[in-house]
Structure 1
Amino acid sequence: MKNLLAGTMAMAGILWLSACSKNEDTSGKSHLQVALTDGPGDFKAVYIDVQDVNINYTDSDDDGWQSLAGFRKGRYNLLTLVNDKDTVLADAYINTGTIKEIRLVLGDDNYVVTNDGDSILLQTPSGQSSGVKLKLNSTVSADVLYKLVLDFDVAKSIHEAGAAGKYMLKPVIRGFMQAQGGTIKGVVAPDSITTAILAINGADTVASTYTDHGNYLIKGIDAGTYALHFIPSDTTLSTMIKEGVTVSLGQVTAVDTVRLK
């Protein structure tokens, strides 16, 4: 146990520096990642120019759109995102509630590379300037990590135009929400000191975090049963272990207050 604690304390020191750099208050928020993936098409490459990702909690197509924080603007080759590969377009903490729609806003720099090696700019319908909208009606809860996957169907989205060698982009996208594991939350007393918390499954340390004024939250871990190790920064207090903490997919497991002695 001493070797385990020495190793985890060393790791805790490294993670503490990282944790201190994150000052955003995310309590009571949902954590949403938006990822882009693709079904294959008959090209060497298909590049789409992603300018923004918006969500809408309202039933209005004209109002209520919100840009997601942590958005990665850029041009993405869809054909590198096949066979269960994806790339994260946005990583944001958002309000809880029901997301009615998502909108993918594309720019004009969309093109294909044909099997002959020709790069051809994709023509886009004039109405596309308002973005590609998808109905979701997905409810997101506090303190749960969700992944919204946008499955871009290349074969159905790119069509040959009337003239030979010209292509039209009419995006066909399927969106689906996935809860990413479960969440553990709780309180450690006294709250005047910083405590490292490790979630351990068998011999593996699966995740770790630190208390913030006594509160802690560990998100996005696989369903299963964990032992929580509480390691206080004040060495006059003893490390505590809480066994049998059960985590379920898409659920928040609230742990009874741990009082260090």
Structure 2
Amino acid sequence: MRRVAFFTGLMLMTLAFFACKKEEDGTAQLKVYLTDAPGNFEHVFIDIQEVRIHSNNGGWTSLPINAGVYDLLEFNNGMDTLLCNVELPVGRISQIRLVLGNSNSVVVDGTTHSLTTPSAQTSGLKLNLHQELEANESYSIWLDFDAGSSVVLTGNGEYILKPVIRTFSDLTNGKIKGIVTPMNAIPTVYAIQNGDTLTAIPDNNGFFMFCGVNGTYDVHIVPSVTGYSTAEVNGVQASFGTITDLGTIQIPN
């Protein structure tokens, strides 16, 4: 009887060990999205070929993404597109590499100009990201591609691509939104924090949104048409997981 009890206890301990081991070595769901801080172009086409992540559980891993050419200007004011949805081992992600192909271009005044970025095409753009993946959890990460800062016009009239990208996750995704009027002022909205500037171009209804923000920002609405003045909303507080609504902002004239 004691022998049966001993083996029963041993079996329960073994099952408990493997159950704990399975949970410890479990997987997490990761979604990677592409979004955009816009620029004053008609189109900015970016050829995304590969996304890699580096974790403490496997080193560099290439993710199964929806590779192809994306128009960044379709993904501003909170819009995005899913690059991949993958199940990964638990662990800590420390870096992301974004590898671009050769089919990058910008459209200005109806003319298409090729964009080149050799460093991104060879080794990939390395972005720091610190995200802990825990078993049976789901996570989202955004690659925020700043089109306005990334496309550079050189002195000889050529356009080159110097990608400016920031990353944020669902845990660090504070938002600031609002509506600008009148839109015939052709405004651009800036969110400024300690010398760093984010850009938004309102849609046809005047709506704008900044994502991945946290802390205190000064929001400036700068018109492109003479006869209007800059509107400012200073000291805007943003925090992770919340949306700060500025309401309707009137551009003075």
What's the TM-score bracket when you normalise by the shorter of the two chains? Answer: 0.5 to 0.7
Cα deviation, 1:40-98, whole Å, max 9, x if unaligned, reads: 10100000000011100159xxx9321113x1010000000011000010110001111
User: Which of the residues 97, 101, 111 maps onto 2:95?
Assistant: 101
- Name the counterpart of 2:45: 47
2:32 alignment counterpart: 34
| Residue in structure 1 matched with residue 161 of structure 2 by the alignment | 169
In 1, distance between residues paired with 2:132 and 2:119? 32
SS of the residue corresponding to residue 170 of structure 2 reads strand
TM-score of the pair, normalised by structure 1: 0.54
> What is the RMSD of the two structures over their aligned residues, measured on CA atoms?
2.2
- One-letter amino acid of the counterpart of residue 45, structure 2: Y
CA deviation after TM superposition for structure 1 residue 113, in Å: 0.7
Q: Percent identity?
A: 44
* Inter-partner Cα distance in structure 2 for 1:73 and 1:126: 19
Which residue identity does 2:43 align to in structure 1?
A
Check the 8 A contact 1:125/1:170 in 2, yes or no.
no
Give 4+ residue runs of structure 1 displaced > 6 Å after superposition.
Answer: none
Question: Residues 118 and 168 of structure 1: is their aligned pair in 2 closer, same or farther, counting only changes over 3 Å?
Answer: same
Check conservation: 1:37, 1:86, Cα contact below 8 A: yes
Change (3 A) 1:126 1:178: closer
Match of 1:243 in 2: none
Give aligned pairs, total.
149
Residues 35 and 75, structure 2, Cα contact 8 Å, conserved in 1: yes
Distance in 2, matches of 1:39 and 1:161, equals 21
1:172: how far off?
A: 0.6
Residues 53 and 105 of structure 1 are in contact (CA less than 8 Å); yes or no, is this contact kept in structure 2? yes
Q: How far apart in 1 are the matches of 2:131 and 2:119?
A: 29
Change in 2 beyond 3 A, CA 1:127/1:41: closer
2:90–2:134 CA contact under 8 A, matched in 1: yes
Q: Which runs of 5+ in 2 are unaligned?
A: 1-24, 173-240, 242-253
Asked if structure 2 preserves the Cα contact closer than 8 Å seen for 1:145 and 1:179, the reply is no
Match of 1:89 in 2: 83
Residues in 2 aligned to 1:40 and 1:112: alpha-carbon distance in whole angstroms:
12
TM-score by length of structure 2 reads: 0.55
2:110 aligned partner? 117
Q: How far is 1:123 from its partner?
A: 2.1
- CA positional deviation for 1:178: 1.3
Q: Is the contact between residue 144 and residue 179 of structure 1 (CA under 8 Å) also seen in structure 2?
A: no
